[in-house]
Structure 1
Amino acid sequence: MIPITLNQLIVFGILFFSLVLFINGRFRYDVVALLGLCIATILGVVPWNQAFYGFANPAVITVAAVLIISRGLLNAGVVELLTGFLYKAGNRPTFQVSVLTGLVITFSAFMNNVGALALLMPVGLKMARKSLVPASILLLPLAFGSQLGGMITLIGTPPNLIISAFRQEHLGQPYGMFDFSPVGIGVSLVAFLFMAIIGWRLIPKRTPPGSRDDFFNIHDYITEIRVTEESKYAGKSLREIVKATNAKVTIVQLIRGGFSRPVPYMYERIKSGDILIVQSALEDLKAFLNTTGFILEEHADINRELIESGDTILMEATIKLDSPAIGSTVKDIDLRAGFGVNLLAVSRQGVILRQRLNEIMFQAGDVLLLQGTDGTLREAIKVLGCFPLAERGLKIGSGRIIEAVGIFAIAIIIAAMGLVPVQIIFTIAALIMVMVSLVPVREIYESIDWPVIILLGAFIPVGQAMEDTGGAELIASTLLSFKFLLTPVTLLVILLIVTMFLSALINNAATAVLMAPISYNIATGLAVSPDPFLMAIVVGASSSFLTPVGHQSNALVMGPSGLRFGDYWKLGLPLEIVIVIVTIPLILYFWPM
């Protein structure tokens, strides 16, 4: 066994520290990756002149280019065209799970998997409401399917690109566009059939059948009050009233006769007889009424159409795993002052939070009900790191489907033939989409998932340090010391399971960075081809099914479906067992040792 060195101890310490922070979730994974890189550089295990060479890695460039191309395909209306038939699907869960999951697997093979999920999730929600099926039954297979599709092609998910770049560096040849397909299609097909026939029956039914048309019942949190003639606050501005009463209420709408003003101007002076639609906790509402002398409006008929009058609409949006709003309170962000948007309610795991809105600390997967104009809402959810759950939040395609598909198809063909390196041809394709206005200039940088880019660029040098210091070889040699008890196939199984476990706890791209050098050193120690072990990393990194924190897709469905942290493994664990059983024979057949 190789003796451990100081530099190896430093690298292992940095990796352990990073893993703890990844799992803890207090800091975003890109921040953790940068912190790990800085520590590694200061302590000398990453040379100063190589600290940021990870940002020049082909995988990083390709990920950014693919995200821009994905935006172009969405803008052209490709996905809307293909999803239009889904609303005609029947009411049987088996068929609904089949069409939704099958489509998201297909999309995710060629575009960003989180983007594919974001487009199909509103469709799934509408299907669930229409057919009286709990949303969790359709959304969890959708989230898992978005990951399965990623293992089919080179551009399906960042881990594939990382493994391909690693192979080029160590074996002189990257993986081709469809080198992952034989194993990826086989695994995805079996996993798809399992979820469609058996798996959906294992999912807890957290949202009740026959759910309402929206996540929130308006009457649960909205109240009408009338301004009385006797009130001393009649004639004062809304701002003066809120300040004087220290009110913890949100003024949603002002109604005066036949006139209605949603999200009213705070300097608007109210008159006796005015009706204010307000959002407030019960105890705060009582205090407000007692102080102002306003009264509850009798026989109030509040509905969504009333709140959405004029240009003002309501939008449900869910908070993404990397949202900058996580850990902040409503008061910290102040949507009203910053965007002219009202936050009306927050739902967590399918339950409306009854506490004061200003005291709620946002978490990944929370569903927010926002009120504002289309423009202000789009800006607010972009800054908050959310995406809309209602179809009104989806962009209508421009009708340039043939043009967008043509650019993408030519890029894939050139990459598959090996005529031009994948990072070059996809960058060219992204540029062409920008030049022909399929992707407006303002959307170029919006379409890139910057936390993933930072994570890759910062963590790749740390992974390289583990290899350069001999840390990966040390781990591999420790496992190989048991090779008389563990056959190469057994080691392959162990590597796959460990990768699956890690991907359930940390970002799958970080998992690939950590596991690639270990798998390569195990293969070298066994004097066999590294390809089977690298393929195990590809499958394992795209099998994050045990928790909601390992992958964005899992976190995004948590709020809308009402699922809890411990619900994921009930489908995820059987699914991973099926994948392990299927993957090993497929790898050994297509990539023999």
Structure 2
Amino acid sequence: MIMESIGLTPSTLVFIVLGLTLAAFMWGRFRYDLVALAALLGSVMLGLVPADDAFMGFGHPAVITVAAVLVISRGFERSGVVDIIANQVLKVGERLLLQLLVLVGTVVVLSGVMNNVGALALLLPVAMRLAREHNTSPSLLLMPLAFGSLLGGLTTLIGTPPNIIISTYRGNVTGENFGMFSFTPVGVVVALVGLVFIVLVGWRLTPKRSGQASTEEMFDTANYLVELKVTEESKANGLTLHQLHDELEETIPVLAVVREDNRRAGYSFHGVLQEGDILLLEAGPDELKLLEDKVGLSAIAEPEEDNETDRDEADSENGASQPLDERQPVDTEGLQLIEAVVRSDSMMVNRSVRQLRLNQQFGLHLVAVARDGGRLKQRLRDIRFQTGDVLLLQGSENEIADSLATLGCLPLANRELHLGQPRKLALSIGIFALAILAMLFDLLPAAVAMSSAALISLLIGVLPLREGYQAIDGPVIVLLAAMLPVGEALETSGGADIIADALLRFGVEWPIIVSLAGLFILSMLLSNVVNNAAAALLMAPIAASLAKGFGVSLDPFLMVVAVSASCAFLTPIGHQSNTLVLGPGGYQFGDYWKLGLPLSLVVMVVAIPAILWVWPL
């Protein structure tokens, strides 16, 4: 066995594996599910995890429950439950405090009954529309909204993966899991206090980023759109748009082709270019030189005298852009442009336009990319997408929603709210209510009840099967399944006892509440650099050893881990909700702690006494 040959104790090896795993999480070079899988396989090779038990985590109740909740959450979205709520949120008016109260309050409630990332994703376009309609900086709304989704997850068993993990761990130790609403007394108190703090004080601590409230301002689109004419001598004459891109060896989005006063969107133009065609496309100085040198296209300097009047009338009727030197701001709605943010689970992450074949496979033209609140100036073909990037895309109005869903992008602009079918709306709520009742009366375990609800939703058509599979966040499932055996190795190797003994020696002369505060801070800091589910998995055995050392009840220690693992307020990488608002809000890495640190302290000060009151030592 490798462990025997290198002469190290199991606990030492566990600490080495976990140290390398945490370093890889913080480095961010590799996705967290791959890091977790490497940690699992390394633990097996070192003899820390039995080979026969290596993949038992994929059938673990906590993993199954998380997957089922993700499917149910997508069913809520599909049936129109959240659209009804969002439609009301849009009526709040222009007062910022009222906007914050309604937005954050709504996401807190939704996050208690569905996945908190899903709840945020549904209300993010609503917040963006509110900001644009009332000329408010989105940065004042989006960070509070993201933090509200984390607070709302504290209120129920299914609100966030750490609660499910802690409940299952308690069941393994004591034989009885936490129930659906065991987290509610403490969670509601913490969420309400956090909501009040964010609405009255917290938003003042968020940076106000200007210039992010509209597509034109963020991307400065009008200054980059140019008109180019196909002449008889142009090499582009007789080429299709696809062949044009091949000649250029560059992806330069052709937004529209104007021919004889008729304007066709670039994505729907499949013919060959002819003499006299005018191309409306998005290009900077480098791209313009490339277009002129390689295919003989150059910008129109001034309108032709012979048909200037006709062209003006055609532009008025068809919405085409004016010539470069005298055009008005471009009608982006007519061009069917849409903004979308790249999610952390998107297939686009670390891939380029060419690798994804956006145009050929998805029918999408990439017009521009914004990162950290500013437009990227490099060539589109050279950009490798990152989580939180905001994309300006053009595509078919009928197909763009499906394409974005497949790519793993969240639409931010021009997203219309559509009420679901009343029958499916009632069915979705009814199925979920039956699952909750089955859990409340101990008729079914959480994993079975939630899985049954997800299955019934798929069988009766509340959610199409394809969307059901898409709803399951594969990286999170792999992370949980891989880290569960590693977390158990921390306990079985004696590593958890070593950490607990160190905390006991530190806190032996202090009241137990001080040790609880130390456990809270340690778990909270961990959750800000690794996934919160991983933080809960690693801290649960330490909490159990600490409670055993003090000779007191296990429950308050586990509840401290459950709450603190969801307090990922300090960095944009601690939770998917934080990452999701990074681009649209124009935030920088260091912006999060300005609101996150005070909010974390408020949560700790409120949560620990509330836990001790509900779950006494």
Q: Find the counterpart in structure 2 of residue 159 from structure 1.
A: 162
Q: Find the counterpart in structure 2 of residue 289 from structure 1.
A: 292
C-alpha distance in 2 between matches for 1:496 and 1:376: 47
- Give a deviation string over 1:258-309, Cα, whole Å, max 9, x none: 3333235787322222111122232121232244443323443476657746
- Contact 2:212–2:586 at 8 Å: present in 1 too? no
Residue in structure 2 matching 1:321, options 339, 344, 366: 344
- Contact 2:257–2:269 at 8 Å: present in 1 too? no
- Give a deviation string over 1:371-428, Cα, whole Å, max 9, x none: 1124543444334322211353766522232221122112112212222211111111
Number of residue-to-residue matches in the alignment: 587
Partner AA of 1:194 in structure 2? F
C-alpha distance in 2 between matches for 1:324 and 1:246: 23
C-alpha distance in 2 between matches for 1:578 and 1:417: 34
Q: TM-score, normalised by structure 2?
A: 0.91
- Contact 2:247–2:294 at 8 Å: present in 1 too? no
Q: Using the TM superposition, name which of 394-403 and 184-193 deviates more.
A: 394-403
C-alpha distance in 2 between matches for 1:513 and 1:149: 20
How many angstroms does 1:210 deviate by? Answer: 6.1
Work out whether 1:19 is the aligned partner of 2:22: yes
- Map 1:47-196 onto structure 2 (within 5 A): 47-196=50-199
Partner of 2:480: helix, strand, or coil? Answer: helix
Q: Find the counterpart in structure 1 of residue 309 from structure 2.
A: none
- Give a deviation string over 1:108-160, Cα, whole Å, max 9, x none: 00001111101101100111111111101011010000011111001111110
- Give a deviation string over 1:59-110, Cα, whole Å, max 9, x none: 1111111111112222211111122111111212111111000000000000
Q: Find the counterpart in structure 2 of residue 447 from structure 1.
A: 471
Q: Find the counterpart in structure 1 of residue 355 from structure 2.
A: 332
Structure 1 residue ranges without an equivalent (≥5): none
- Judged with a 3 Å threshold, the aligned counterparts in structure 2 of structure 1 residues 324 and 17 are, in CA distance, closer, same or farther, namely farther
How many angstroms does 1:212 deviate by? Answer: 5.6
Q: Find the counterpart in structure 1 of residue 377 from structure 2.
A: 354
Q: Find the counterpart in structure 1 of residue 12 from structure 2.
A: 9
How many angstroms does 1:314 deviate by? Answer: 2.3
Partner AA of 2:350 in structure 1? G
- Contact 1:71–1:447 at 8 Å: present in 2 too? yes
- Give a deviation string over 1:475-529, Cα, whole Å, max 9, x none: 1112112233333111100111111111111100000000000011001000011
C-alpha distance in 2 between matches for 1:376 and 1:464: 46
C-alpha distance in 2 between matches for 1:575 and 1:186: 14
Q: TM-score, normalised by structure 1?
A: 0.94
- Map 1:391-540 onto structure 2 (within 5 A): 392=415, 396-399=419-422, 400-540=424-564
C-alpha distance in 2 between matches for 1:57 and 1:486: 38
Q: Find the counterpart in structure 2 of residue 29 from structure 1.
A: 32
Partner AA of 1:390 in structure 2? A
How many angstroms does 1:241 deviate by? Answer: 4.4
- Contact 1:345–1:352 at 8 Å: present in 2 too? yes
- Give a deviation string over 1:212-266, Cα, whole Å, max 9, x none: 6774333133221112345354344445544445556332321112333323578
Partner of 1:446: helix, strand, or coil? Answer: helix
Q: Find the counterpart in structure 1 of residue 607 from structure 2.
A: 583
Residue in structure 2 matching 1:558, options 579, 582, 588: 582
- Contact 2:43–2:486 at 8 Å: present in 1 too? yes
Aligned-residue RMSD, C-alpha: 2.1
C-alpha distance in 1 between matches for 2:72 and 2:80: 13
C-alpha distance in 2 between matches for 1:171 and 1:239: 64
- Contact 2:125–2:415 at 8 Å: present in 1 too? no
C-alpha distance in 2 between matches for 1:337 and 1:209: 30
Residue in structure 2 matching 1:387, options 392, 410, 416: 410
Partner AA of 2:556 in structure 1? P
- Contact 1:321–1:549 at 8 Å: present in 2 too? no
C-alpha distance in 2 between matches for 1:63 and 1:245: 47
- Contact 2:345–2:473 at 8 Å: present in 1 too? no
Percent identity, please.
45
Partner AA of 1:48 in structure 2? A
Partner of 1:88: helix, strand, or coil? Answer: coil
C-alpha distance in 1 between matches for 2:580 and 2:349: 13
- Judged with a 3 Å threshold, the aligned counterparts in structure 2 of structure 1 residues 126 and 41 are, in CA distance, closer, same or farther, namely same
Q: Using the TM superposition, name which of 519-528 and 245-254 deviates more.
A: 245-254
